[in-house]
């Protein structure tokens, strides 16, 4: 028998930052700082939003930054750059490159990423043009070692982790598929990823995602203008949040009770007329929910 899942409701989305990001992504809620981190990959910028103080901060970088994690052992952030895992010092803005797993694939770049409950950072790569099936996932350890999980996706997104830590979701964005992997007690992938959910092209393409404490999977839809919530056992759609822009990229739970869903969007790829029709493309939105997210794990030695 599966554990019953509580019913949920969601509010209408509210724009909290009219950022006009080219490619908003990489959402991370800091429980310690009560702050939302997010990135504009193509704008080469890290952002922080503190809802209580209504404070917004931007760190401009010299290259792409694609995903972010807090660390247990340093005040720096662990980030993925175009080709590397690195530490980023918020005070000095210094970058310390740690590891480059794909030196031989110059046309790839990192995309989405998150820490697992074991304190290891998972990040996916992709063909920079989203055309060649050269994207894979990597699990980076604080000792510098890195595990390669071959996938062969044109664009990778995710991961997201089940609350019990026994499974992980990955998105094959161009293929329109969500895959699920089984994990052992150390957090390593066991066996072959299995097909979990496929979207029709009318729904756009599965982009970034998160999981709430009841295991429901929340998925942003690139080109679909929405975030959908799915039952972890049946994959049935439980809720749909419609956004006033088409390129919806990523989401995470935050706020004092982890009940606010923050959503990033993008403006890249839209024509001038589409930008005119979607003036909030590239903005960050918040949605109040009756469910609760999970605290983001820290990158840990």
Instruction: Encode pLDDT of 181-193 as tens digits.
Output: 999 999 999 999 9
Is pLDDT of 297 > 80? Answer: yes
pLDDT of residue 2: 56
**Band of residue 7 on the pLDDT scale cut at 50, 70, 90:** confident
User: To the nearest whole percent, how much of the chain has pLDDT over 70?
Assistant: 98
pTM of structure: 0.96
Is pLDDT of 5 > 70? Answer: no
Q: What's the mean pLDDT when you consider all of the chain?
A: 96
Instruction: Encode pLDDT of 191-233 as tens digits.
Output: 999 999 999 999 999 999 999 999 999 999 999 999 999 999 9
pLDDT of residue 199: 98
**Band of residue 4 on the pLDDT scale cut at 50, 70, 90:** low
User: To the nearest whole percent, how much of the chain has pLDDT over 90?
Assistant: 95
Q: Name the token pair of 7.
A: 């019913």
Picking from 62, 97, 68, 69, the residue whose alpha carbon sits closest to that of residue 83 is 97
């Amino acid at each position: 028998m599966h554990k019953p899942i509580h019913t949920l409701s969601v509010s209408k989305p509210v724009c909290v930052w009219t950022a006009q990001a080219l490619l908003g992504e990489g959402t991370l809620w800091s429980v310690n700082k009560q702050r939302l981190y997010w990135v504009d990959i193509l704008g080469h910028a890290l952002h922080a939003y503190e809802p209580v103080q209504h404070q917004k901060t931007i760190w401009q970088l010299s290259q792409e930054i694609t995903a972010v994690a807090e660390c247990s052992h340093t005040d720096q952030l662990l980030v993925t750059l175009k080709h590397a895992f690195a530490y980023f010092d918020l005070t000095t803005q210094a970058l310390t490159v740690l590891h480059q797993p794909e030196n031989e694939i110059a046309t790839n770049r990192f995309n989405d990423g998150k820490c697992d409950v074991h304190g290891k950072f998972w990040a996916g790569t992709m063909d920079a043009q989203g055309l060649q099936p050269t994207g894979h996932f990597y699990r980076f350890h604080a000792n510098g070692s890195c595990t390669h999980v071959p996938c062969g996706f044109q664009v990778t997104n995710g991961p997201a982790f089940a609350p019990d830590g026994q499974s992980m979701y990955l998105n094959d964005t161009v293929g329109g598929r969500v895959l699920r992997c089984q994990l052992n007690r150390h957090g390593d992938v066991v066996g072959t990823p299995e097909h979990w959910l496929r979207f029709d092209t009318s729904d756009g393409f599965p982009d970034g995602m998160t999981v709430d404490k009841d295991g429901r999977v929340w998925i942003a839809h690139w080109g679909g203008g929405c975030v959908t919530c799915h039952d972890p056992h049946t994959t049935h759609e439980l809720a749909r949040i419609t956004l006033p822009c088409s390129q919806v990229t990523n989401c995470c739970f935050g706020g004092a009770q982890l009940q606010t869903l923050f959503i990033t969007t993008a403006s890249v790829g839209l024509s001038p007329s589409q930008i005119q029709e979607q003036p909030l493309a590239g903005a960050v939105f918040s949605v109040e929910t009756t469910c609760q997210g999970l605290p983001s794990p820290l990158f840990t030695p």
